[in-house]
Amino acid sequence: MTKAKHISELMASRRALLGGLAGLPLLNLAGCATGAARAPAQASLNFANVAPTNADTVTVPPGYSWRTLIAWGDPLFEGMSAFDPDALTRDEQEKRFGTHNDMLALFAGDYAFPPPKHQDRMILCANNEYVSPELTFPAVRDPRQFTPAQVEAMYAAIGVTVVEIARGGDGWHAVRNAAPGQGRNRRITPFTPVQFSGPAAHHPWIEAAKAVVNAAEPDRSGGQAPADAVRCGTVGNCAGGLTPWGTYLTAEENFHSVFYAAERNAAPGTNDADHARDARIFGYPWGMPSGVEALPRQFQFAQNPYGPSLYGWVLEIDPYDPNSTPKKRTALGRKAQECATTAITKDDRIAAYMGDDKANEHVYKFVTAGRFDPNNRAANMDLLDDGALYAARFEADGTGRWLKLTPEAANAAAEAQGSPARFRDAGDIAMRAREAANLLGATPMDRPEDVEAVCDAQWRGLGPVLIVCTKSSDRDPNRPGNPRRLDESGAAHANRTGHIIRIDEAGGDCAAEHFTWDAFVVGGDPNATSLTLPARDGSPAQIATGFGAAPANSGERFACPDNIFIDSDHRVWISTDGNPDIFADCNDQVLATPLDTEGPRPLKRFLVGPVGGEICGPLMAPDERAFFCAVQHPGESDVSGADFFETRWRGAAAPSSFPDGGWPRSAVVVVTRDDGGRIGD
């Protein structure tokens, strides 16, 4: 492969010119050597660049077409009526596609390793991250009018949807099963029975919360749920990953936002100093001065103060068995979990990469103790219960290391720093992974979201790993791995446009404990003619991407990268969440760039989504002749940035009618070439 120039090769003096503009700031990054992955020949991006747009639709290049695959409320089973958002009940929602779909994952119709490249029948898993009350129940005119039954239906709209899809003469479409259990379609919601496994499975906080939840939520499994199941399901499902043994890993991110009290950040009242500190670290509960009693009991913080300990985990789901009970793999640690992507190490163990999506939180890796057996799927099912959890530390010289999180190391660090924190065992480390990583000196990051390893066709990691950091308002310039633009006085500015960094694992092995790091792309405008741009809210945003004499990337401008997909030619497809906050003339979008290239990395815009909609979960069918992405919460804001939650109750119309001209609905869309060819070629 072609080795890209490192930042140190692109940096020049402050007096250097970029496009005739003097004094563009340098980013506060240091040089390092990047390793080499075995890559395909130079990848091409043979599609016409899509222009910026605020259109309330999906916009793709000429020669491409898009269609809705499935949208919020669409039935998963035969004999169901058309969706009526005002008639939604919990029972109905548990049989329909969920809302606010984020990450997407595709599985072969029948399990095989490695998955076959050509198939016309697959299983789609989609995260349903959260619910926006203003985008539900159109007939409600005042948020105080939501009934307990409607609130319960809203909770049932989040979690995960598993749905079969098939390709016919008219392209890909969702398949309805005859009835629940007759096929693979199903919903996993905040009420679904799940099991806890790994070191924190019987943590005291979980045991206390389990008693409340199971008393509040009747068992509706018909006797199928195991005796130790907790009917807490899953919430805050943002990104995730797939395993080589054909299971889905869904990551629970902003779980703090589903627990409410009469006052925000109310004291837990548990006389547990560790728990009180945990509440401060995660920021729960949220405040609701009136209406708390309308919530399901298990999400009323006063009734269930240890309830948040049930979330923030990675949940493993078997998409091939609709009767299987999902498992929360506590060995991977609890945090505002953003992803859980896997790669096979050189000695056949599994490495799982994770981000913690909050400013100043960390990047994690888990390496299994056991080894993957490609010939025995059942033997792999509990690999994620035993292994080592690490957090990343980036050094200023361009090197880095993975810090192993153990009770002994965390307690020694706490004692040295005068912290009252102590960890009893590995279960405590897993429960309070954020706290342990911080004590051990992991690097605070600019909202680390997706983390993707570059793998070969056999799922084996090649060494490079991309870490997507959405943005940060923090101006601290002394954090390696996080760029800060400097003005003429040398003052650092917040990284409001985000960035992606690349690490290269030592020896090309995803089990390594050391790495080097470098910038991959930096959000902003490589063609900037000024250092700052007024953002949509009017405040100045630093948008130049230059490292002195040369920009980090070329081509299209963008802000707030979120999820990525790496195709077989090592082209990186980047979706955004917050682009219009910085570049108001363009809704959130998908861009593409080669992983390996000489000089500034070129970016081309492939897709733009509708008004108010975040673009998530980019991926392709295995034969790469179909591109899928999630359009989350269209209409959550209008073109000016006005929040629909504020304007709806004053009588404003919905800002979007995506995808079908009616009430706005989150949806999964599929993009194909009109000639049936491979995406991007």
Angle, CA of 621, 627 and 633, to the nearest 5° = 120
Burial class (CB in 10 A: 0-12, 13-18, 19+), 478: exposed
Dihedral sign, Cα of residue 608, residue 609, residue 612, residue 616: negative
pLDDT single digits (tens) 268-323: 989 999 999 999 999 999 999 888 999 999 999 999 999 999 999 999 999 999 99
pLDDT score recorded for residue 11:
28
Cis peptide before 114 (omega within 30 of 0): yes
pLDDT score recorded for residue 42:
58
Q: Is 495 helix (H, G, I), strand (E, B) or coil?
A: coil
Q: Which residue is associated with the tokens 């929040």?
A: 643
pLDDT single digits (tens) 77-92: 999 999 999 999 999 9
At 544, the pLDDT band (50, 70, 90 cuts) reads: confident
Q: Any alpha helices (H) in 403-442, and if so which ranges?
A: 407-417, 426-431, 433-439
Give the number of residues written for the chain.
681
> Which run of H or of E encompasses 91?
helix 90-93
All residues at 6 or more sequence positions from 450 whose CB lies less than 8 Å from its CB, including other chains: 239, 338, 339, 341, 355, 466, 467, 468, 562, 563, 564
Read off the DSSP letter of residue 246.
S
- Quick check: 2 pLDDT over 90? no
State in Å, rounded, how far the first CA of the chain is from the last one. Answer: 19
Span 239-268, mean pLDDT?
96
Phi, psi of 126 (to 5 degrees): -130, 130
Q: Any alpha helices (H) in 159-251, and if so which ranges?
A: 204-216
Answer whether residue 417 is part of any domain: no
Cα 413 from Cα 251, distance rounded (Å): 28
- Quick check: 234 pLDDT over 60? yes
Q: How far out from the chain centre does Cα 444 lie? A: 18
Edge-to-edge, what's the strand order for the sheet holding 561-566?
553-555, 601-608, 589-594, 571-576, 561-566
> Which run of H or of E encompasses 149?
helix 148-156
213 closest CA partner among 227, 192, 237, 197: 192
Angle, CA of 137, 143 and 148, to the nearest 5° = 70
Q: pLDDT over 70 for what percent of the chain?
A: 93
Q: Spell out the SS3 assignment of 281-335.
A: HHCCCEECCCCHHHCCHHHECCCCCCHHHHCCCEEEECCCCCCCCCEEEHHHCCC
List, in sequence order, every residue forming a beta bridge with 76; answer none if it has no partner. Answer: none
- Quick check: 557 pLDDT over 80? yes
pLDDT score recorded for residue 33:
35
pLDDT score recorded for residue 489:
78
- Quick check: 259 pLDDT over 60? yes
Cα 503 from Cα 402, distance rounded (Å): 12
Cα 125 from Cα 49, distance rounded (Å): 30
| Number of domains into which the chain is organized | 1
Q: Which residue is associated with the tokens 């926006």?
A: 132
CA 5 to each of CA 34, 36, 404, 598, 613: distance values in angstroms, whole numbers, following the listed order: 9, 12, 31, 6, 35
Burial class (CB in 10 A: 0-12, 13-18, 19+), 407: middle
Answer whether residue 401 is part of any domain: yes
pLDDT score recorded for residue 599:
74
Answer whether residue 346 is part of any domain: yes
Span 517-546, mean pLDDT?
90
Answer whether residue 450 is part of any domain: yes
> Which run of H or of E encompasses 69?
strand 64-71
Angle, CA of 501, 481 and 484, to the nearest 5° = 105
pLDDT score recorded for residue 27:
43
pLDDT score recorded for residue 596:
87
pLDDT single digits (tens) 6-49: 333 332 222 222 222 223 333 443 333 344 444 455 578 999 99
Answer whether residue 320 is part of any domain: no
- Quick check: 1 pLDDT over 90? no
pLDDT single digits (tens) 420-450: 999 999 999 999 999 999 999 999 999 999 9
Read off the DSSP letter of residue 43.
P
CB atoms inside a 10 Å sphere around CB 1: 18
479 closest CA partner among 34, 27, 13: 27
Q: What count of Cα atoms within 13 Å lies in the side-chain half-sphere of residue 63?
A: 13
Answer whether residue 302 is part of any domain: no
pLDDT single digits (tens) 602-612: 999 999 999 99
pLDDT score recorded for residue 41:
52
Cα 581 from Cα 583, distance rounded (Å): 6
- Quick check: 418 pLDDT over 70? yes
pLDDT score recorded for residue 31:
32
Average pLDDT, whole number, for the chain? Answer: 92
At 485, the pLDDT band (50, 70, 90 cuts) reads: confident
**b vs e for 313-344, b when ≥16 Cβ sit within 10 Å of the residue's Cβ?**
bbbbbbbbeeeebbbbbbbbbbbbbbbbbbbb
pLDDT single digits (tens) 661-677: 999 999 999 999 999 99
Answer whether residue 643 is part of any domain: yes
Q: Any alpha helices (H) in 244-338, and if so which ranges?
A: 273-282
Both tokens of 525, joined, read: 């405008």
Choice between 32 and 235, residue whose per-residue pLDDT is larger: 235
Span 180-205, mean pLDDT?
97
pLDDT single digits (tens) 384-411: 999 999 999 999 999 999 999 999 999 9
Answer whether residue 272 is part of any domain: no
Dihedral sign, Cα of residue 96, residue 102, residue 107, residue 113: negative
Cα 462 from Cα 172, distance rounded (Å): 32
pLDDT score recorded for residue 22:
28
pLDDT single digits (tens) 96-151: 999 999 999 999 999 999 999 999 999 999 999 999 999 999 999 999 999 999 99
Q: Which residue is associated with the tokens 């496994």?
A: 197
Dihedral sign, Cα of residue 474, residue 476, residue 480, residue 486: positive
pLDDT single digits (tens) 603-651: 999 999 999 999 999 999 999 999 999 999 999 999 999 999 999 999 9
Cα 69 from Cα 106, distance rounded (Å): 13
Cα 130 from Cα 13, distance rounded (Å): 47
At 349, the pLDDT band (50, 70, 90 cuts) reads: very high
In 545-588, at which residue ranges do the beta strands (DSSP E only) sit? 546-547, 550-551, 553-555, 561-566, 571-576
- Quick check: 351 pLDDT over 50? yes
Structural domain that includes position 472: 7-192+233-254+336-405+440-673
